[in-house]
Chains A and B, each alone.
Chain A
């Protein structure tokens, strides 16, 4: 069984440019999470989806961040415009059901904003 797939693995952009990350969760997993992990810190939740519905986006900086999960499968996370402080690893995770404790993470996208 394939795990959570994220792309790209690495991205370097200049500040004020847009950037997008893509996530394909494990097949059949209805719950999808986007986390941001700064260096030396634990992951912090940005947004959680149940199928195609964003059920917790309270931590998403909505002035520049947006996300979508069309058809309740793949998801994209976008930043526009990017700022220097957005440099971090963006992790996608999925669980088989709402509230499931066994979250499976992708390898993440390492974003560097210069």
Chain B
């Protein structure tokens, strides 16, 4: 079983829709939870990171962490065609005093104009 599971999609939605992207994880040692956006042929770009359970909002983006269920989500409100990209979840845990990051496989999102 992978430490981080993410549905690869693709996910197609109409412009203006609310998008929900999710990841589950199996290791309760993860402490930091991140979402990256990756456009085609580009490197990942950090969107948001959270440390604790709960919600964190930044503009049209909301990150949600539920440690009890080992489940994280990214919500995108009023989705735009420019949001079309692959969204990667990532998690970090300490090992031997340093941080180890594990990425999900990414979910491909297409927002249709």
* Interface status of A43 (Cβ within 8 A of chain B): yes
Provide the bound-state CA to CA distance between A43 and B42, in Å. 13
Total B residues in contact with A, Cβ cutoff 8 Å? 25
A45-B101, A101-B49, A101-B92 as given contacts; A40 in contact with B8, CB under 8 Å? yes
A43-B44, A107-B42 as given contacts; A99 in contact with B99, CB under 8 Å? yes
Is A42 in contact with B106, judged by CB distance below 8 angstroms? yes
Provide the bound-state CA to CA distance between A107 and B98, in Å. 25
- Cβ of B27 to closest chain A Cβ, rounded Å: 15
Is B103 in contact with A43, judged by CB distance below 8 angstroms? yes
Provide the bound-state CA to CA distance between A104 and B88, in Å. 14
Provide the bound-state CA to CA distance between A98 and B99, in Å. 8
Is A42 in contact with B32, judged by CB distance below 8 angstroms? no
**Interfacial residues, chain B to chain A (CB-CB below 8 A):** 4, 6, 8, 32, 34, 36, 41-46, 49, 88, 90, 92, 94, 98-101, 103-106
